[in-house]
């Protein structure tokens, strides 16, 4: 069934008013036939659901029995899992990045700004390069670099 058709059916079936409108607009024999088919499908699903529920309950009973056996023998799950079973402490990530030294300077709106050369190029530099300038034209001179470090 296509996703849109499935959504349409779900929208109608999830609202009583929509169901009533659908029933009013369709032939009675068609509705009876759909009712019978839906009843068969629901009965099948009910049986599947009951079997799944029994299986889950049996599995839970077995799990409880195993836990009781483990405890009666003097163990705990941590010992059986192969050690202390304590969660290991996470290593601290080294995400604290140091601020990079600026390599380039440019003027934007009358203000001198600096760029380290990492990441996206600032718009004034990108526009100047498109117009034939070189990236080296924006390099900070050595004397200026030292004054920025202070």
- Do 123 and 131 touch, CB atoms closer than 8 A? no
130 belongs to a structural domain:
yes
The phi-psi region of residue 4 (left if phi > 0; otherwise alpha if psi is between -120 and 50; otherwise beta) is alpha
Domain boundary among 50, 72, 94: 72
26 belongs to a structural domain:
yes
Domain that holds residue 67: 3-72
Q: Which residue has the higher pLDDT, 11 or 89?
A: 11
96 belongs to a structural domain:
no
99 belongs to a structural domain:
no
Domain count for the chain, please give it.
Answer: 2
| pLDDT exceeds 60 at position 125 | yes
The pTM score is 0.43
As a whole number, mean pLDDT of residues 68-92 equals 75
């Amino acid at each position: 069934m296509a996703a849109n058709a499935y959504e349409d059916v779900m929208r109608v079936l999830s609202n009583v008013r929509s169901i009533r409108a659908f029933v009013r607009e369709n032939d009675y024999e068609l509705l009876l036939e759909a009712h019978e088919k839906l009843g068969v499908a629901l009965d099948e699903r009910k049986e599947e659901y009951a079997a799944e529920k029994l299986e889950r309950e049996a599995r839970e009973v077995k799990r409880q029995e195993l836990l009781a056996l483990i405890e009666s023998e003097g163990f705990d799950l941590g010992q059986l899992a192969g050690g202390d079973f304590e969660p290991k402490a996470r290593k601290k990530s080294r995400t604290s990045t140091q601020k990079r030294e600026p390599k380039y300077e440019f003027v934007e709106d009358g203000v001198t700004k600096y760029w380290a050369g990492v990441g996206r190029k600032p718009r004034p530099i990108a526009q100047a390069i498109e117009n034939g300038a070189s990236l080296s034209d924006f390099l900070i001179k050595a004397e200026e670099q030292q004054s920025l470090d202070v």
